[in-house]
A and B are shown apart, each in its own frame.
Chain A
């Protein structure tokens, strides 16, 4: 293991320790009056950020590493959330507004019995399997069709956008029996423990952190194998990869399905902590927002997306409170600046500054080649 690699692991471990050890500990054992106390609110919000981090990695795996800008990640994220949400809805039992076994929204619409496709979701195992299965199936079918007919570049983005848009329209319909515009909310229990209690929230938070860590190391491993190399080759020039005798379709399909699964896990964890899922999470705009996190953090790295997700969302939490009118302008401009001037995101700031310093102060180096980006050159 190289020294650099070792250092990276050290840093990851420190951050993980702070986020997964220190913060929950301060939340659980420090008295509320203390300066070091971390509120349940903070834990909960950070849990959301970390779930977003998982989504960001899935975007980056596709975009930063394979050159596929998918605007469908919000769809897979929400589908994961919906699958777990169905189980959680059934777990509310008779504690809803109507004191009925059926989820509230079904009673609302005058249903008297549970539709057949809802029934298996009484089992958490089934729901957990579906969290993976449904998004992976959809991505596999869609990916196979798209990649086989060699749809790439912006066409892929626009098609995934259409897919997401169509799906959100579908989920908005009350006839879909998935809660319509309101979606699912008011969850009470998971595995018998109260979802609203601080202890459960803490456990979920730690669990999300561990999953994020796992996804991070999994992707780190994947991108450093030969597979990862081909992946990046596809990003830089798909034609050359094809000429070298690789079947780009299979590689792309594999990555697409894997990132759908990653996004779905993120979605499931998000729903368990935030307690709401509805179709507005599924719109193409949400996908684009996730792309913003990755772009801001730094694409083509695995740390970047996580940093971006946390940073942009923290900024959002702050800005929607402090300067609500200017929030969208801030987000939009941030994005513009990053795309135009910092193509590698904020985590490249130190190295950019260092380069600048080296060039200016020490001796002029030959100009850096323009950063390699996506393949299509329309």
Chain B
């Protein structure tokens, strides 16, 4: 039973380990970066870590925030939601970070939300989301549904599309977005039978789910594409796609193999940015549509400077695990970038790193000329920004077709559209 003895010692040693506190140097400010660097979400989230580190370096090179250099604390959420909560706790309680930039999926945000509310922390959240949330501890630089989905539908209606097929991954963002879109389409006079993908109703006959849903990691889209083909056979139809990142690959490969093209039946995707595009068969996707608040092809000086600065940083950086080749910029990256600068402005306006004061400054309507154009903070912790509709090109970039200027970020949309 010496083993018991040994293990007891090991336990004690471990307890000792967590006693050690790290001293906070006076001339730096700690900023947390909470993204998945491993696991399924690493695909998307590592790019955000990279762009954040770049932004910090850029700010530090110009003297930091209120004279203090930013000291990033990077942690890995490992695509594991309870771990996200644990890491958030660590960043706020142990590292005492002034602000945290992070999260991608809705579930990771929901998981850390209680931690931020309890510790009165501040999280900048950069990825398009379903809305229906407004926490005083989260600043949503993300696209709300009315900054992505409804403009895209407007565009399709403009293009005389009459039938809409809804497909998405089975989680909160697609479910909610599609319910909002259902209300929106009905309010625009599109009859129910022209909305495809199926509906589910509760006992009272109220629709509680619209569209076709597949789980994460789904690989077989034969049946669904066959259904789409029949649904859209009459023309004047489009597909509204909220499939999550990597399930898009089997979907689009099947879509192309079935002979469906952007000309006969375009697909508007909300979760494919330039970054995801790198893994998609670009030639088969030419002409499909996307809708974001930034595209790499936006023509502005701010964007040019951002892209060249980031590429230069990639070339020079010594940070482990940063992939240097074939990198692109995309909306979540730019919204992360904007977020850091908005936070810097807010801190400088408040003259303090205190979360309550910074929040007040943020809510007062700060503006920043980001790569995607001017963004302005709102009282409800969202951003007013430009919305672009783009069409994919064979080189993996988007050609911008339409721009909606200064769209107000509105998280509460459900029930606001009334059917005709």
Contacts and interface: CB of A to CB of B under 8 A. Distances in A.
B61 interface: no
A186 B110 contact: yes
Given A185-B114, A186-B110, A180 B171 contact: yes
Interface in B6-23: 6-8, 10-12, 14-15, 17-19
A108 B114 contact: no
Given A112-B204, A276-B82, A303 B114 contact: no
Main secondary structure of the interface of A (DSSP, over half): helix
A174 B107 contact: no
Contacts of B1: 4, 7-8, 11
Given A41-B94, A324-B37, A181 B82 contact: no
Contacts of A183: 81, 107
Interface string B261-282: 0000000000000000000000
Contact of B2 (A40, A321, A351): A351
A321 B2 CA distance: 32
Contacts of A80: none
Nearest to B200: A175
Contacts of B87: 320-321
Contacts of B206: 110, 112
B209 interface: yes
A169 B202 CA distance: 21
A15 B11 contact: yes
Nearest to B74: A324
A110 B179 contact: yes
B200 A320 contact: no
Nearest to A325: B321
Nearest to A105: B172
A185 B111 contact: yes
Nearest to A36: B19
Contacts of B11: 15, 18-19, 307, 310
Interface of A: 4, 7-8, 11-12, 14-15, 18-19, 23, 35-36, 38-42, 44-45, 48, 97-98, 105, 108-112, 169, 172-175, 180-183, 185-187, 196, 274-276, 278, 280-281, 297-298, 301, 303-304, 306-307, 310-311, 314, 317, 320-321, 324-325, 327-328, 347-351, 354
7 contacts: A11-B4, A14-B8, A35-B19, A97-B133, A169-B215, A185-B114, A307-B11
Given A45-B18, A110-B202, A185-B85, 10 more contacts: A36-B19, A44-B89, A185-B113, A297-B7, A303-B7, A307-B10, A324-B321, A325-B38, A325-B321, A350-B2
